[in-house]
A = this chain, B = another copy of it.
Amino acid sequence: MSEVWLPSLKTDTPQDGFDLAVQLARKGVGYTQPDENVRKSLRSGYANDADSLTFASQVIAIHFQTVAAANDYWK
């Protein structure tokens, strides 16, 4: 993972910040399971399990706190 994928936490809009939070949550998974094919094979399972979806949403929420603070809440 030597390429630059996170040059900044600044985004133009709150919605872009939410997209970044989604990306950060996925990167966290990617660090533990670097094989994209394995991750894809798991997706069909958790994308059809309500608690798994809530869990994924929660990690996004935590990252969104960080991104929002970094952007001073786009005030």
A-side interface residues toward B, CB under 8 Å? Answer: 4-10, 13-15, 18, 22, 24-29, 31-33, 38-39, 42-43, 45-66, 68-70, 73-75
Contacts and interface: CB of A to CB of B under 8 A. Distances in A.
Nearest to A26: B57
A25 B29 CA distance: 12
Contacts of A49: 42
A45 B56 contact: no
Please state the number of chain copies in the assembly: 6
Given A42-B50, A46-B51, A59-B61, A22 B31 contact: yes
Nearest to A3: B15
Nearest to A16: B6
